[in-house]
Amino acid sequence: MSLSLLLPAGLAALAALLLPLLLHLARRHEQTPTDFAALRWLRQKPKPRHRIRFDEWPLLLVRLLLLTLLALWLAKPVLSGADDTRPWIIAIPGVDVAGVRRQAPDAEARLHWLAPGFPSLEQAAPAGTPAIGSLLRQLDAELPPGAPLTVIVPATLQGADAERPLLSRAVTWTVVEGAMAAPPAFVSPPPTLAVRHTAGNDTGLRYLRAAALAWQPASSTSSSLQVGTADEPLPATTMPLVWLVPGPVPATVVQWIVSGGTLLLANDSALDGFTADTTPWRDADGAALVEAARRGKGRVLRFTRPLRADAMPELVEADFPQHLRALFHAPGAAPTRVLATDYAPATGGATYPVAPRDLQPWLALLIVLLVLVERWMATRRIRGVAP
């Protein structure tokens, strides 16, 4: 262990030690000489030298110590090398707690859950699915380099990320029977489509109606389709728009896309500068059915074929509603389920220095106690003339 100061200039406050010394010297007990008549005829002897003498030296020592601690507190002392290297045993929710305690080789081992804050194993198992890789990296960075780490995991993990953890220390990775509870599946609500078409031309509209109807639960009475002609106002940019109007796309619609809207064009609609960069939907032979590209803050999709069953047989397939719905949703979350044996951490990661222990809180407590002692000694009744 070693003591160091983050702000050594704070020790300049030690000059204040002169204050109690001068105070005790200046306010010594007063001695008033008294003349006696019988002593008048005695031969006068040389007066003895005055020696420096401090009254109430216990109080003086307390005051000097108090000022010394204040100066040390200002210098921000820290203690290095006092690392706790006791073994850590981490359990992932889903394992048997009694089995974890039986596997503790050391009575002084610290038992914790792998969860935010690393709660003690004495507490109930944390709810939810922990981010296993992220928490392991955090724990590896916070533990001293010499602290052994054992992780007890169930056979199947949930909450794993795409990268196998790379830690700075060798980890005892113990796989036991069990599985983590799967997180609840997120079911996104069906989108509400706004459709704009040419008056008198509803080509493809019936397929869109059928798809929107298939999205709705059986008990729902609301519609997922808002149909209008090309001259009607545009919807909010949060609602996808299907443009079934042949010819160039109006400038108002282009501005709507740039502002963040998502537009699905018919194959005979023309948008200047449209160059596909992705193909979100292909047929069984791999040919593109829908192409997509970014435009400003928005997104443009375009059918490559007319919305007729003879040109695009997928319109009458049972999975057409699912394919159409997928065009307007962000990609789903990557799978987080993995076998524990395939997720064992690798070694070779960076080693992080352990932060030194801050001694200022302890010094502050000691200073408060010394202030109370000093006040008691300076104000007690049995004192004489106090400095």
Q: Which of 132-141, 321-330, 362-371 has the lowest mean pLDDT?
A: 321-330
Same domain, 315 and 214: yes
Residue 370 located in a structural domain = no
CA distance 268 to 270: 6
Q: Based on the fold, state whether residues 180 and 197 are members of the same structural domain.
A: no
**Shared domain check, 176 and 202:** no
Give the separation between CA 245 and CA 256, rounded to whole angstroms: 16
Give mean pLDDT, residues 237-242.
93
Instruction: For residue range 272-301, list pLDDT tens digits in order.
Output: 999 999 999 999 999 999 999 999 999 999
Residues 374-385 have a mean pLDDT of 72
| Domain carrying residue 202 | 193-326
- Asked if 146 and 233 sit in the same domain, the reply is no
Out of 3-7, 88-92, 110-114, 347-351, which region has the weakest mean confidence (pLDDT)? 3-7
Pairing relationship of beta strands 225-229 and 193-197 according to DSSP bridges: parallel
Give dist(CA 199, CA 231) in Å, integer: 10
Q: Which two tokens stand for residue 309?
A: 């069953």
Residue 158 vs residue 256, higher pLDDT: 256
245 domain residue, yes or no: yes
**172 and 288 assigned to the same domain:** no
Report pLDDT digits (tens) over 202-235.
778 889 989 988 888 766 666 678 999 999 999 9
In this predicted model, what pLDDT tens digit does every residue of 342-377 receive, in sequence order?
A: 999 998 888 777 677 788 888 999 999 999 998 888
- Verify that 228 and 277 share a domain, yes or no: yes
Q: Decide if 387 is inside a domain.
A: no
Phi-psi region of 380 (alpha: psi -120 to 50; beta: other; left: phi over 0): beta
Q: How confident is the model at residue 34 (pLDDT cuts 50, 70, 90)?
A: low
- Are 255 and 306 found together in one domain? yes
Q: Specify the DSSP class assigned to residue 378.
A: H
Cβ(198)–Cβ(266) under 8 Å?
no
Q: Are both 201 and 321 inside the same structural domain? A: yes
pLDDT, position 267: 92
Residue 261 inside a domain? The answer is yes
Please check whether residues 146 and 230 belong to one and the same domain: no
Residue 262's pLDDT band, with cuts at 50, 70 and 90, is very high
182 pLDDT higher than 80: no
Q: What is the pTM of this model?
A: 0.48
Q: How many domains does the chain have?
A: 2
Regarding whether 256 and 311 lie in a shared domain, the answer is yes
Residues 180 and 200 in one domain: no
Question: DSSP secondary structure string, 235-294?
Answer: --TTS-EEEE--EEPPHHHHHHHHTT-EEEE-TTEE-TT----EEEEE-TTS-EEEEEEE
